[in-house]
Amino acid sequence: MLGLLCVPLALVGGGRTAVFDGVLEVHGGLLARILKGRIPVIRSCAAMTLGHVVIGQDRRSLEFTREHERVHVRQYELWGPFFIPAYLMASLIAWLRGRHPYLENPFERAAYRESGL
């Protein structure tokens, strides 16, 4: 449901939506501005997964990150509503250990490893 809340942010300002391999991909519009510099800790990102919805800056970003983000979709399927708290806790633990909260997050490490990025 959280991912669906992002759809209006994309559509305001000319964004687009499409379904690709059973996943709703949303990009552009106000959503692109948010992803380009207002994400805590990592500041900007090309794409982000929220359940079965992947939000991206633009179509090219979604294409480039598709395999990586599909790993996160599978993680959401496995963890269900516990995914976001578990992800945030993993980032907090990494940060408390003096490591990068994004790059050293085990969910991200798995997504990078499995996607080959």
List the domain range (segments joined by +) for residue 101.
Answer: 3-115
**Residue 40: alpha-carbon gap to chain centroid:** 13
How many domains does the chain contain in total? 1
CA 100, CA 112: separation in Å to the nearest integer?
15
- Taking 60 as the threshold, does the pLDDT of residue 101 lie above it? yes
Residue 25 amino acid letter: E
- Of residues 36 and 18, more confidence is placed in 18
Please determine, for residue 40, whether its predicted confidence score (pLDDT) is greater than 60: no
Per-residue tokens: 85: 């708290």
pLDDT of residue 54: 94
pLDDT surpasses 70 at 94: yes
pLDDT in tens, 74-93: 999 999 999 999 999 999 99
Burial of 114 (0-12, 13-18, 19+ CB in 10 A): middle
26-30, 81-85, 112-116: segment of lowest average pLDDT: 26-30
Could you tell me if 83 and 90 are in contact, meaning their C-beta atoms sit under 8 angstroms apart?
A: no
